[in-house]
Structure 1
Amino acid sequence: MEGWKWIKVAILLCLLPFTTARDLKFNLMQKQQLPRYNHTLATIMVEYASAVYMSDLIGLFTWTCSRCNGLTKGFEMIDLIVDVQHCLQAFVGVASDLNAVVIAFRGTQENSLQNWIEDLFWKQLDLNYPGMDDAMVHHGFYTAYHNTSLRPVILSAIQEVNELYGDMQIMVTGHSMGGAMAAFCGLDLTVNFGYQNVQVMTFGQPRIGNAAFASYYSQFVPNTIRVTHDHDIVPHLPPYYYFFAKKTYHHFPREVWLYNIMYGNLVFKTEKVCDGSGEDPTCSRSVSGNSIADHLVYYGVEMGCDDESDNSCKIVMDARVAASATQDQLGNFIFTKNSSFSTLKMNGERVHLVDSS
């Protein structure tokens, strides 16, 4: 009889992780107001997430680049920030058709996407998120937004837009690591600065925190959509371990999974709006995350750098743009909308090259 007692105890201990995961999923789905997915809005935001990768800064700043002439026409750039030190890039501007401030982040390329992905397999939760009990996040992703040149310029630009245009909706986007920074930005604007009209939409975003963080995030930034694509490897990283629900990385909701259905020789593109758990087993988690190709295309839009000959991102500037930019002691550039940029054209001679690898 004594042996059976210990066996029962062992079974209960084994079931604890499952119970915790189920309870967390239930709590997440019950306590939040899940956002509605808008396909048209997603196809617009993905173009902003793609454009921020452009290395041609004059084309990007004047919004005349090759990726700036689609559904985002008429966008007015306010600030463009290039953090050369960390190979990061972001912009803030006004989209009159959306009546919103748009913030877009480009993730770091580091040496190569392959190396970055391999590194994510071994990343651990290593930072307590300030002011949130038990919430832990990825130190690198947190630092990329909070401790680089991007954040202060973005905050200043939002304040400037509000002074000029009044209180507008704020829409934050990014792809890959840029998606991770977009999420931290959305949370920062809501928790630390009291903005109530923040919407986040990311593409191919990795996990950035544990289950406690996902729960807090979903309460503060409920209007969030994470779009994943078929077998894209990055949303599967860092790995999710079902048996360690409190300690493992955990996605926050809401996911929209893009995938293909094969019927003979026909291919049907499908969009599945997932549940509110953040880890819906019928969405991207239902397939193996083993594709870099799926990571680089969303809604048919190319994501990543425009210079395919190099794994690192470079920036190309017209000499007049370089002369007009503000540069800090670390070599980072800040381009602010002013009258001097109104005369810049795409036919200027590009003579300034900076390797941000």
Structure 2
Amino acid sequence: MVIAGPPEYMGKRRWFILAIFVCLLAFSCGRELMAEHKHADNHLTAYNHSLATILVEYASAVYMSDLTQLFTWTCPRCSGLTAGFDIIELLVDVEHCLQSFVGVAKDLNAIVIAFRGTQEHSIQNWIEDLYWKQLDINYPGMPDAMVHHGFYSAYHNTTIRPGILNAVERAKKYYGDLNIIVTGHSMGGAMAAFCGLDLVVNTEAKNVQVMTFGQPRVGNAAFASYYSQLVPNTIRVTNDHDIVPHLPPYYRYFPQKTYHHFPREVWLHNIGVGSLVYEVEKVCDGSGEDPDCSRSVAGNSIADHLVYFGVELMCETWRSCGIVMDSLAKEYGKMDVKGNIVFSRDSSILRMKTETNIGGDRM
């Protein structure tokens, strides 16, 4: 025999059971979301401060306009943490105002590819132009993925890409199957991202790492998702109130139709007051648009865009695409009818270079 309690007791009992069920359901869903977020982050690279301080010097050196000093790695920015770097090819696309180099860093046991950022008459004009940039081209082989035509074309539709791929192939021939590290600042960071993706997708390169500084957004959320799967070993370093990582604008109410950063961001910023101020390197989440990182502040500083880790990331002068070279550099350079130049070390020099043992990882 079942003894039923008073009606009010039975009603409370049913509400109690329902409350327990709702709590269990919520707890289960919460655990699942947390597990998925953690799983996504596990596919992203760990941040290495020492590597960042090395690569920012390569991103600075590629701005040098004296091509002789840059090609021979004797420029004022070609010492310090990058001393002993062997340039294989220096590429100057005068027509589109682009510059890049490929070489081998023995201490990193890697091929390093660096892209120069914007070299316009006025960086202010370039930044203002970014406010109005639209997603205007579909990325090949990625459904729904759209990117910025200008950044895509700067890498894919100029003399830069064939020169890069040729240099990587030559480097592997003479130095072995080394890791590849791609870096750049500002627009050079956007080109570095497209280069890293290109190497993985179209040349099936292994162990490709990308680290950029002050990089703008380059595509939508679909592109960011594809990119993070294909090139998970990527770090975007942003600096305090740097304006460029905020551009082109991100509109959180239209996630599929707006520009979206890919992960992982590392945000450099200062905390504290008065004499108790120190720099923090915050490793952000796997969303690419962590609201607690650079998006938590107003992106309104050009000064923060031009200096990372105390290293200047700009040209020596504000001349547009100005270059300097002497007869020594011309001996190694080939110029096409449009004035674009490729400086290459010949095979005999590369053979001599490979006699030096490559090793001794600095990281």
TM range (shorter): 0.7 to 0.9
Instruction: Quote how far apart the aligned CAs of 1:150 are.
Output: 0.5
**1:237 aligned residue:** 247
For residues 166 and 329 of structure 2, what CA distance do their matches in structure 1 show?
Answer: 21
For residues 239 and 335 of structure 1, what CA distance do their matches in structure 2 show?
Answer: 37
User: Is 1:337 the equivalent of 2:345?
Assistant: yes
User: Is 1:256 the equivalent of 2:266?
Assistant: yes
**1:312 aligned residue:** 320
CA shift in 2, pair 1:281/1:154, >3 Å: same
What number of residue pairs does the alignment pair up? 318
Answer whether contact 2:242 2:299 (CA < 8 A) is retained: yes
CA shift in 2, pair 1:27/1:212, >3 Å: farther
Answer whether contact 1:126 1:138 (CA < 8 A) is retained: yes
User: Is 1:182 the equivalent of 2:218?
Assistant: no
Instruction: Quote how far apart the aligned CAs of 1:199 are.
Output: 0.1
Give the unaligned 5+ runs of structure 2: 1-32, 351-363
For residues 275 and 338 of structure 2, what CA distance do their matches in structure 1 show?
Answer: 54
For residues 51 and 298 of structure 1, what CA distance do their matches in structure 2 show?
Answer: 13
Match of 2:299 among 285, 289, 292: 289
Answer whether contact 2:332 2:344 (CA < 8 A) is retained: no
Higher strand share: 1
User: Is 1:207 the equivalent of 2:217?
Assistant: yes
User: Is 1:328 the equivalent of 2:360?
Assistant: no
Instruction: Quote how far apart the aligned CAs of 1:166 are.
Output: 1.3
Equivalent residue runs for 1:1-357 within 5 Å: 30-31=39-40, 33-307=43-317, 310-338=318-346
CA shift in 2, pair 1:223/1:25, >3 Å: farther
Q: Which amino acid aligns with 1:337?
A: R
Per-residue CA shift, 1:88-123, capped at 9, x if unaligned?
Answer: 000000000000000000023222100000000000
For residues 27 and 234 of structure 1, what CA distance do their matches in structure 2 show?
Answer: 30
Instruction: Quote how far apart the aligned CAs of 1:269 are.
Output: 1.0
Answer whether contact 2:68 2:325 (CA < 8 A) is retained: yes
Per-residue CA shift, 1:247-279, capped at 9, x if unaligned?
Answer: 000000000000011322332111100000000
- TM-score, normalization: structure 1? 0.86
Q: Which amino acid aligns with 1:220?
A: L
Instruction: Quote how far apart the aligned CAs of 1:26 are.
Output: 9.4
Answer whether contact 2:57 2:82 (CA < 8 A) is retained: yes
CA shift in 2, pair 1:147/1:27, >3 Å: farther
State the percentage of identical aligned residues: 71
Give the unaligned 5+ runs of structure 1: 1-23, 343-357
For residues 324 and 194 of structure 2, what CA distance do their matches in structure 1 show?
Answer: 28
For residues 181 and 28 of structure 1, what CA distance do their matches in structure 2 show?
Answer: 28
CA shift in 2, pair 1:141/1:26, >3 Å: farther
Secondary structure of 1:48's counterpart equals: helix
Answer whether contact 2:332 2:345 (CA < 8 A) is retained: no
Structure of larger gyration radius:
2
**1:347 aligned residue:** none
CA shift in 2, pair 1:145/1:225, >3 Å: same
Answer whether contact 1:89 1:106 (CA < 8 A) is retained: yes
Instruction: Quote how far apart the aligned CAs of 1:61 are.
Output: 0.7
For residues 271 and 156 of structure 1, what CA distance do their matches in structure 2 show?
Answer: 36
Answer whether contact 1:305 1:313 (CA < 8 A) is retained: no
Answer whether contact 1:206 1:235 (CA < 8 A) is retained: yes
Cα RMSD of the aligned pairs, angstroms, is 2.0
Answer whether contact 2:62 2:101 (CA < 8 A) is retained: yes
> Which stretch of the first structure deviates more once superposed, 255-264 or 121-130?
255-264
Answer whether contact 1:29 1:275 (CA < 8 A) is retained: no
- TM-score, normalization: structure 2? 0.84
CA shift in 2, pair 1:79/1:141, >3 Å: same
**1:15 aligned residue:** none
CA shift in 2, pair 1:29/1:215, >3 Å: farther
